[in-house]
Chain A
Amino acid sequence: EIVLTQSPATLSASPGERATLSCRASQTISNNLAWYQQKPGQAPRLLIYGASTRATGIPDRFGGSASGTEFTLTISSLQSEDFAFYYCQQYSDWPTFGPGTKVDIK
């Protein structure tokens, strides 16, 4: 099983700030990585697939990048609606999710 490790567990930031979330895979997964946003009581929402491609309707303040087994989700300027949990998911092998990063208001 491919294990995904996300950091930090919690990121405290202010509206307007840049947020950088990391996801590390335990082995090579090419670019077969997606990012999801989840708010309390709601289902996850697809943000990014293929490590860097935004899903339909996702604002361009969300960006994804990859370097080897290290993946990054960047939110260029945090909006109030962006404070949520973020999960990475690999689909190179049997799909697995990371444990999540909570982005909360400083």
Chain B
Amino acid sequence: QVQLVQSGAEMKKPGASVKVSCKASGYTFSDYYIHWLRQAPGQGPEWLGYINPKSGGTSYAQRFQGRVIVTRDTSIRTVYMDLSRLRSDDTAVYYCARRGPTFDYWGQGTLVAVSS
């Protein structure tokens, strides 16, 4: 069965960077784009960007351009999301999701808490 398993919760100080991983299994890794989204407490999800696992090509939401980088390691079927210059309002649960016609499978989520 399709599974996306993310790394564990992180606590960071303002200005730091965080790297979250997402390991895929149960399907052909190169066939589906992997997207990153986040959800702040009490709010709807917000799209950050995606990667094409086959080519490594990426696209990011304009408001995160220059702060987010998504990479992949095809040998271990894992995608990474790196967010830099963290602020307190980056505190959220970060999700990876597979894109079929839509976001059909999601990871379990990774809490990133930013506080001084």
- Asked if A pairs with B, the answer is no
Q: Which residues of A contact B (CB under 8 A)?
A: none
Q: Which residues of B contact A (CB under 8 A)?
A: none
